[in-house]
C-alpha cells in the first residue's frame, strides 16, 4: 500500500514524530513522502510540538526504597502458596493432558457430575444398609476379636 | 582444578523494626531472563524474587503512576502486585510461553483500574490563584496549572484510550504489546491511540491558543 499524506498523519499519531521509530516497512516510505510533499514538514513540526507538551505531564519518581520495602514485606508474609481444588484440576488438565480451555471446562464439569453421581448412588444404595442386629453382631465380633477384650 | 564459588552480592533488607539485614544474592540471577527467573521464584528462591523486584519495580511504578495520578497509590499498587506474585507464585504457567512483563503489566493495569473505579474522583485544581507574583513563582504556578489541566484532560478520556496512551506514548511499548496487555486486537488499539491523541491535541490547542 502506498502512503498518502492522510496515512502519513495517521502514522505520526500511531508511531510518533520520529520517523526512525516507525516500523521499517513504512519508515522509508514516510521519509520519501516527506521529500515529495514539503508541506508535510509543517504537520510533522506541529505534532512534534504537541508531543513535547504531552511529555511535560507531571511525574514523581518512586521512593528510593520501594524495591527493598517490597522484598522485606514479602519475607514477612512468607506463607505456603495454597492450591485450591479448582486450580489443582486446571493445572492437572491444562499441563498434563494439554486440553484447550473449552474442553477443560467440559471435562471439569463432567468430573464434578461424575463425583456427585457417585456420592448419590453410594449413599442411596439399600444393600449398604446394616440391620441393627447385624451391626450389633459385627460390633461384638470387633470387640472380641481373637478372644481379646478391647 | 580450582573450584570457584559463584560470585555473590548483598542487598540490605529493612524489617518492620528498622533492623537491617544483609542478604546474599547469587549474582547469576542477574543474568537470567525474566522467564527463567520466575521459574526460580516458583521454586521458592526468594533471592530470585528480589532480583525481579529490583529489575522491574520502577517500570511498573511508572505505569501505575500514569494511571493513578498519585505517587502513594502507585507505590501501593506495585507493592500489592509484587506481593501477590510471591504469594501466588505457583499460578504462573511457564508452558504457555507468555512474556512475564506482558502478563505482569496486565496484573498492574487491572489493579489500577479496580483502584480507580473504587476511588471517588478528586477535583483537580487547575484554577490556582497567584498569591505572590514574583517572577519565578509565576512561571512555576503556570507550569503547575498546565500540568493539572493536562491531568484533567487525560482523566476525561475513556478508560481504554487512557490506557492506550499511557502504554504506547508514555511507557514506549509497541502497539502489539499494548494490545496484548489490554486484551484487544492491534487495529482496535491503534484506533484507541489515534482517538486519544486527537482529542488531547484538540483540547490542548483550544486551551492554550
Beta bridge partners of B24: B10
- In this complex, do A79 and B87 lie within 8 Å of one another by their Cβ atoms? yes
B202 burial level (CB within 10 Å; 0-12, 13-18, 19+): exposed
- In this complex, do B147 and A69 lie within 8 Å of one another by their Cβ atoms? no
Q: For the complex shown, is ipTM > 0.90?
A: no
Which of A57, A64, A92 is the mutation pick for testing B, counting most B CBs within 10 A? A57
Q: CA of B15 to nearest chain A CA: how many angstroms apart? A: 6
pLDDT score for B51? 93
CA distance B150 to A84: 45
B11 or B199, which is more confident? B199
pLDDT > 70 fraction of chain A, expressed in percent and rounded: 67
CA distance A78 to A74: 6
Q: Give me the torsion for CA of A68, A71, A74, A75, rounded to 10°.
A: -100
pLDDT score for B5? 39
Asked if residue B57 lies in contact with residue A70, where contact means CB atoms within 8 angstroms, the answer is yes
At residue B25, the 3 state secondary structure works out as strand
CA distance A16 to B161: 16
pLDDT digits (tens, 9 = 90+) for B146-187: 888 899 999 999 999 999 999 999 999 999 999 999 999 999
pLDDT digits (tens, 9 = 90+) for B57-110: 999 999 999 999 999 999 999 999 999 999 888 877 766 667 889 999 999 999
B167 burial level (CB within 10 Å; 0-12, 13-18, 19+): buried
Asked if residue A32 lies in contact with residue A22, where contact means CB atoms within 8 angstroms, the answer is no
pTM: 0.69
- In this complex, do B87 and A50 lie within 8 Å of one another by their Cβ atoms? no
Query: B53 contacts in A (CB within 8 Å)?
Result: 67, 70-71
Residues of chain A with pLDDT under 50: 80-81, 136, 142, 146-150
Q: What are phi and psi of B68, to 5 degrees?
A: -105, -20
Of the pLDDT bands very low, low, confident and very high (cuts 50, 70, 90), residue B21 is low
Query: What are the residue ranges spanned by the domains of chain B?
Result: 1-122
Asked if residue B52 lies in contact with residue B34, where contact means CB atoms within 8 angstroms, the answer is yes
- In this complex, do B16 and A76 lie within 8 Å of one another by their Cβ atoms? yes
**CATH number of the domain located at residue range(s) B1-122 in this protein:** 1.10.1740.10
Beta bridge partners of B143: none
- For residue A82, the number of C-alpha atoms closer than 13 Å in the C-beta half-sphere is 3
Amino acid at each position: 500500500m502506498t502512503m498518502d499524506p492522510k496515512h502519513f498523519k495517521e502514522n505520526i499519531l500511531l508511531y510518533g514524530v520520529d520517523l526512525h521509530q516507525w516500523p521499517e516497512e513504512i519508515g522509508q516510505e514516510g521519509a520519501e513522502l516527506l521529500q515529495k510533499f514539503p508541506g508535510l514538514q509543517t504537520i510533522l513540526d506541529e505534532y512534534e510540538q504537541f508531543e513535547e507538551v504531552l511529555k511535560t505531564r507531571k511525574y514523581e519518581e518512586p521512593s528510593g526504597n520501594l524495591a527493598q520495602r517490597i522484598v522485606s514485606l514479602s519475607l514477612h508474609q512468607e506463607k505456603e502458596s495454597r492450591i485450591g481444588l479448582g486450580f489443582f484440576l486446571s493445572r492437572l488438565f491444562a499441563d498434563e493432558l494439554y486440553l484447550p480451555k473449552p474442553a477443560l471446562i467440559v471435562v471439569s464439569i463432567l468430573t464434578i457430575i461424575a463425583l456427585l453421581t457417585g456420592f448419590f448412588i453410594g449413599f442411596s444404595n439399600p444393600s449398604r444398609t446394616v440391620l441393627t442386629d447385624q451391626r450389633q453382631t459385627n460390633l461384638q465380633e470387633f470387640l472380641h476379636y481373637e478372644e481379646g477384650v478391647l | 582444578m580450582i573450584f570457584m564459588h559463584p560470585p555473590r552480592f548483598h542487598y540490605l533488607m529493612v524489617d518492620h523494626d528498622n533492623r537491617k539485614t544483609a542478604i546474599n544474592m547469587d549474582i547469576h540471577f542477574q543474568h537470567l531472563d525474566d522467564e527463567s527467573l520466575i521459574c526460580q521464584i516458583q521454586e521458592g528462591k526468594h533471592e530470585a524474587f528480589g532480583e525481579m523486584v529490583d529489575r522491574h519495580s520502577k517500570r511498573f511504578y511508572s505505569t501505575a503512576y500514569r494511571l493513578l495520578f498519585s505517587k502513594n497509590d502507585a507505590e501501593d499498587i506495585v507493592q500489592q502486585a509484587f506481593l501477590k506474585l510471591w504469594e501466588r507464585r505457583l499460578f504462573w504457567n511457564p508452558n504457555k510461553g507468555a512474556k512475564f512483563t506482558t502478563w505482569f503489566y496486565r496484573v498492574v493495569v487491572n489493579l489500577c483500574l479496580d483502584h480507580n473505579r473504587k476511588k471517588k474522583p478528586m477535583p483537580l485544581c487547575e484554577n490556582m490563584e497567584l498569591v505572590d507574583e514574583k517572577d519565578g513563582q509565576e512561571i512555576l504556578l503556570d507550569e503547575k496549572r498546565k500540568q493539572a489541566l493536562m491531568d484533567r484532560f487525560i482523566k476525561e478520556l475513556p478508560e481504554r484510550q487512557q490506557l492506550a496512551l499511557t502504554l504506547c506514548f508514555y511507557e514506549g511499548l509497541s502497539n502489539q504489546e499494548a494490545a496484548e496487555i489490554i486484551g484487544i486486537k492491534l487495529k482496535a488499539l491503534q484506533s484507541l491511540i489515534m482517538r486519544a491523541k486527537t482529542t488531547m491535541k484538540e483540547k490542548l490547542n483550544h486551551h492554550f491558543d
